Each structure stands twice: as structure tokens, then as C-alpha cells.
Amino acid sequence: MTAREFAEIRRQVLALHRTLVEIERRDFERAHGRQSPAALLHNLIHDVTFAWLRPLTAILAQIDEVAESPEAETAMKASVAELRDLVRPDEAGSEFQRRYAALLQQHPELVVSHGALVRSLPQ
């Protein structure tokens, strides 16, 4: 895997994360009212509503660290394998996979982001 391919994967993970945060923000604001950017960030970090997103956030941070690692090639492959498992929608899987599967059924923009990410992953 080249650095360029890994950068594209990172870009697609970031886009997927942004899409998921936006979907959850809309739902959260329906229940709790408008949120300032600071309040939203606080809730993303601390509110249980957003806890299911933390595995994807962690992989995104891991990808950033891996890109600067001396063992970049091996670390990149491990990160991509972990990412591939995480974004596999599964109604009987982890909390992330279950919520992700449900949201994919409801939000076409998420399907587009998911497809772009999956296409960026090496076989």
C-alpha cells in the first residue's frame, strides 16, 4: 500500500466520520435543541449518545499516527484491516456495527460515504 493510497483511505474515513457526526448532530438537536460548535464538540466527547462513534474516531486518530510511524507499511495494513472490520454493517455485531447498519438503511448520504470508503480499501 502506498502513502498516496493510505492518504485516500484517510480522506474517505474522515468524510464518513463527518457524515455520521452530522446525522447524529441532527438527531441530537431534534431532542435537545440547537448546539453551538463548542457544545457539540463537548457532547461528542462526553455524551453517551455519541459513544458508539468512538471506535471510528479512534481508528481515524490511529491512521494519523500510523502515517508518521517508522513501521508505516505494517501499521497501515493493520489499521486498514481494523477499519474494514469496523465498517462492516452487522445487526448482530458490535455497538458500532449495529448502529451503522441501521443508519445505512435510513440515510442515502451515508451509503455514498460508505461506498467511497469501501472502494478506497485495498483488496
**Is 7's pLDDT higher than 80?**
yes
* Spacing of C-alpha 79 from chain mean position: 13
- Amino acid identity, residue 61? A
Distance CA 71, CA 73 (A): 6
Q: What is the mean pLDDT of the chain?
A: 92
- Tens of pLDDT along 47-87? 999 999 999 999 999 888 887 776 777 888 889 999 999 99
User: What b/e sequence results for 6-31 when a residue is b if at least 16 CB atoms lie within 10 Å of its CB, and e otherwise?
Assistant: bebbbebbebbbebbbeebbeebeee
In the numeric block, the cell 438503511 is attached to 105
Q: Could you give the angle at which helices 3-32 and 54-67 cross, rounded to 10 degrees?
A: 150
Burial group, residue 98, by CB count within 10 angstroms (0-12, 13-18, 19+)? middle
Residues 32, 35, 39, 43, Cα dihedral to 10°: 50
pTM score, whole prediction = 0.90
**Is 20's pLDDT higher than 90?**
yes
